[in-house]
Structure 1
Amino acid sequence: MNTFTVQPGGTLSGVARVPGDKSISHRSIMLGALAEGETRVSGFLEGADCLATLEAFRAMGVPIERKGPGEVVIQGQGLHGLQEPDGPLDMGNSGTAMRLLCGVLAGQAFDSELIGDESLTRRPMRRVTDPLARMGAQIETSEAGTPPLRIRGGAPLRGTDHVLQVASAQVKSAILLAGLWAEGKTCVTEPAPTRDHTERMLNGFGCVVTRDGPKACVTGGGRLQASSVDVPADISSAAFFLVGASIATGSQMRLAHVGINPTRTGVIDILRLMGADIRVENQREAGGEPVADIEVHAAPLKGIEIPTELVPLAIDEFPAIFVAAACAEGETVLTGAEELRVKESDRIQVMADGLQALGVQCTVQPDGIRIQGGEGFSGGEVDSHGDHRIAMSFAMAGLRSSAPIRIRDCANVATSFPGFVDLARTAGLALEAA
């Protein structure tokens, strides 16, 4: 499934449940493995990224069973029960897995090595390894600060009070996880709110995370107790259908059991500012996370200046938002989004190249982009550069295209959204994969 071809036009309709939240799925395996007792996970995302995390903990001696679709049972080994793996731990395409595991492995008694695919091997890791080194961790990177990461075991960790220069949930989480093995208190202060799944889940596993405004703290020397985790549907995966149904005349979709953690709902806020008709209904809680059913109807969109305070709350959804901007009346301006340049691809440049290839005028800036909206897309060919979110975003562009769109290098869609092609077809997208 390396190439997508989308025929122009169509509408989206029906009720769908997208796969489980990737961020929560990663953390459920990690904390379940480090807890004492049996943890049961439902709704687990069985994509390549999360399965890489699962296999890494199996390689460190944690018994993990997959009981059925989305059902995982973990026999936790406690904070000091992991075993030295026989070889490097391969994180595939997952920056989340590598960065968070870096924090976990910094506290172990054994040496370890983290490797990844070609894309992951280009991604910066010093933003994690430098603050961990200040805690006492011994971690080697390449000269460029990229993987592979070699972590020397047995290094005593000490608590820290770290102030993030760039809002990043992955860096925050890695430091807090390392704090479980550190002497004293470990605190992270962030410049803007980022997803707080790690803090919520640590509390659910019996580790008290204290908050004082933008500062989150844990105290080392404790224990984690097994828990049950109900993983909601991933709002990042729902975002493609929120955009698709918004831009395709006559569309109406309902997305079920979607996580609406307030640190993740920037995509809804931004699309509503653009004029989208999105309704959040049946709000409830599942496994400590707020969830809801989301209904979206097609609506005329207008270009906006995206508020900078919403940028960290929608950082993974911007490729889809860019597609909405191309279909909006007027200009959409994004600033303050440097983080997009160090994702699975340089998402600002790669999206700009694709938009321009499909007839959309845009101007790249160091920390964002200006997109001139209009009638939609002219059709053509784009390269996703192996970035799953780029591929799925341009698939939705077909709904407002005047000619077929061909998207290359789509195999990594399986990392976050197995079953995307079938679900998109069922909803009404004329999508073929080869």
Structure 2
Amino acid sequence: MDIRRTGIKSGRALPQGMGAVKEPPPMQASTSQQDQASPRRFLPSGPLRGRIRVAGDKSISHRSVMLGALAVGETRVTGLLEGEDVMATAAAMRAMGAQVDKVGDEWRIHGVGVGGLLQPQTALDMGNSGTSTRLLMGLLASHAITATFTGDASLSKRPMGRVIEPLSRIGAQFTPSPGGRLPLMMTGANVPVPIEYRLPVASAQVKSAVLLAGLNTAGITTVIEPVPTRDHSERMLRGFGAELEVEEVGGERVITVRGEADLRPQTIEVPGDPSSAAFFMVAATIVEGSDLVIENVGLNPTRAGLVEVLRQMGAQIEELHRRDVGGEPVADLRVRHAPLTGIEVDPAVAPSMIDEFPVLFVAAALAQGRTVTRGLEELRVKESDRIAAMAAALTAAGARVEETEDGLIVDGTGGEPLRGTSNARVKTHLDHRIAMAMAVAGLASKDGVEVDDTRPIATSFPAFEPLLDGARA
């Protein structure tokens, strides 16, 4: 195995303080991305074989920590994703009074109760985590405390207006940077007002922010969801004891939560993240001779769109030992190499696989014929503009890609390896999913693909590179 690596790995110092202060904390920018980049060339691979287990689901991990911090008593969590994003959430909850500690393989969270959050002494550094930022803004919106949110260079470019607007209706006040971005200061409402809010775009983060704000708001808070998005918040709020109802009315989901909730601590086993498993599903599909089992993958129907899309393209993905874990469907996935055929992806599946499109574009680049994707405007405002970033990265690696306003059109090689990047690095734009997607592209290339920085991978999947190298060994 030929692996070329330069640069260093760097960790991020996360805030740990807690307590109350009279003056709001100062606004400051995060410096977590100022260290030296760590490029790596991912070279052509032999078959991926054996059994692997991917990191715990990031969405469930975030919510386990947050809801555990709002429950009275001790919540215990196994399988928690220990990437930088979730650790930023844990540090923020510590800063607001909760105890969050790891004991052996288990995380133990001693909550303060709904309404019991304390004002943090220092700014809350969210690193690269948009989920942490938007959901915590929802939590704080109905608590009469002031907090400042900062983030790295990538997160500081992401607009927060989509959560500021509904949370302002509840009574929270915001002082964001120009364009509704971080650094951002907010003060929660003294007397929060329950609202009915119709989501203008399909966003699980906005939905969750409003529902979390409703926990400490007297009365009924309602979210109307024209297009279903991942439902981890609804499942987990119910599990923690919140009075939450979901109805179908006129083809829309109407979600209500009763405020002044009394949450009960839980014991949670976090399933494997389908967004992390996605990279190995595509890698095993496009690398000849592969036969890989990915254990314990969460298959929540609001998250499993990629599995069905890959099957439509011809992928061989078999579900083994399907079961329920903590109210979430889970299975081991056996993935074998198979030739793929391009398809037109139904825009309706986008919310169930929005984070998986970067690696789907890689699969499309190796398929026979044309793959067309539409309705992906949301990808423009992720950690990077993922439509533009993947168009540029795949083109640099030799793929035939056309960028449109709301997606990509990819003409595949019919299974022939991509050219690769012999004398250039693809730009990841500090985006972990761009880095991992192009790592997978390198496995099915002639010259390999060099990404400009592998450090962002640690935000969501610290074990990605060792797992990939082990599966190829």
Q: TM-score, normalization: structure 2?
A: 0.89
The corresponding residue for 1:432 is none
The corresponding residue for 1:147 is 182
Aligned to 2:76, which of 36, 40, 54? Answer: 40
1:247-262 equivalences under 5 Å are 247-262=286-301
1:379 aligns with 2:414: no
Partners of 2:107 and 2:45 in 1: CA distance: 39
Aligned to 1:94, which of 129, 137, 146? Answer: 129
The corresponding residue for 2:451 is 407
Partners of 1:41 and 1:304 in 2: CA distance: 40
Aligned to 1:358, which of 390, 393, 397? Answer: 397
Could you tell me how far 1:153 is from its partner in structure 2?
3.3
- Whose RCO is larger (CA < 8 A, sep 6+)? 1
1:222 aligns with 2:222: no
Q: Does the CA-based 8 Å contact 2:170-2:189 persist in structure 1?
A: no
Q: Does the CA-based 8 Å contact 2:173-2:189 persist in structure 1?
A: no
1:44-55 equivalences under 5 Å are 44-55=80-91
Partners of 1:10 and 1:84 in 2: CA distance: 53
Percent identity reads 51
Partners of 2:134 and 2:176 in 1: CA distance: 12
Q: Note the residue ranges of structure 2 that are not aligned, 5 or more in a row.
A: 1-8, 10-37
The corresponding residue for 1:84 is 119
Partners of 1:106 and 1:49 in 2: CA distance: 21
Task: Give the 3-state SS of the residue equivalent to 2:436 in structure 1.
Answer: helix
How many residue pairs get aligned? The number is 428
Larger deviation: 399-408 or 125-134?
399-408
Q: Does the CA-based 8 Å contact 1:138-1:155 persist in structure 2?
A: no
Q: Does the CA-based 8 Å contact 1:135-1:160 persist in structure 2?
A: yes
Q: Does the CA-based 8 Å contact 1:137-1:156 persist in structure 2?
A: no
Could you tell me how far 1:134 is from its partner in structure 2?
1.3
1:182-201 equivalences under 5 Å are 182-201=217-236
Q: Does the CA-based 8 Å contact 1:384-1:390 persist in structure 2?
A: yes
The corresponding residue for 2:313 is 274
Q: Does the CA-based 8 Å contact 1:360-1:376 persist in structure 2?
A: no
Aligned to 1:22, which of 58, 66, 69? Answer: 58
Q: Does the CA-based 8 Å contact 1:387-1:410 persist in structure 2?
A: no
Could you tell me how far 1:405 is from its partner in structure 2?
1.4
Task: Give the 3-state SS of the residue equivalent to 2:360 in structure 1.
Answer: helix
Partners of 1:188 and 1:402 in 2: CA distance: 49
Task: Give the 3-state SS of the residue equivalent to 2:344 in structure 1.
Answer: coil
Could you tell me how far 1:10 is from its partner in structure 2?
1.7
Partners of 2:115 and 2:243 in 1: CA distance: 19
Q: Does the CA-based 8 Å contact 1:326-1:373 persist in structure 2?
A: yes
1:21-420 equivalences under 5 Å are 21-69=57-105, 71-213=106-248, 214-374=253-413, 375-380=416-421, 381-420=425-464
Q: TM-score, normalization: structure 1?
A: 0.97
Which amino acid counterpart does residue 130 of structure 1 have in structure 2? E
Which amino acid counterpart does residue 468 of structure 2 have in structure 1? A
Partners of 1:86 and 1:388 in 2: CA distance: 30
Aligned to 1:8, which of 44, 66, 69? Answer: 44
Partners of 1:220 and 1:44 in 2: CA distance: 27
Could you tell me how far 1:68 is from its partner in structure 2?
2.5
Q: Does the CA-based 8 Å contact 1:106-1:155 persist in structure 2?
A: no
Which amino acid counterpart does residue 373 of structure 1 have in structure 2? G
Partners of 1:204 and 1:3 in 2: CA distance: 42
Which amino acid counterpart does residue 173 of structure 1 have in structure 2? S
Partners of 2:241 and 2:370 in 1: CA distance: 48
Which amino acid counterpart does residue 77 of structure 2 have in structure 1? V
Q: Note the residue ranges of structure 1 that are not aligned, 5 or more in a row.
A: 430-434
Could you tell me how far 1:154 is from its partner in structure 2?
4.1
Q: Does the CA-based 8 Å contact 1:278-1:297 persist in structure 2?
A: yes
Could you tell me how far 1:135 is from its partner in structure 2?
1.7
Could you tell me how far 1:289 is from its partner in structure 2?
1.2
Partners of 1:309 and 1:111 in 2: CA distance: 39
Larger deviation: 24-33 or 277-286?
277-286
CA RMSD of aligned residues (A): 1.1
The corresponding residue for 2:26 is none
Stretches of 4+ aligned residues off by more than 6 angstroms: none
Q: Does the CA-based 8 Å contact 2:76-2:108 persist in structure 1?
A: yes
Could you tell me how far 1:143 is from its partner in structure 2?
2.3
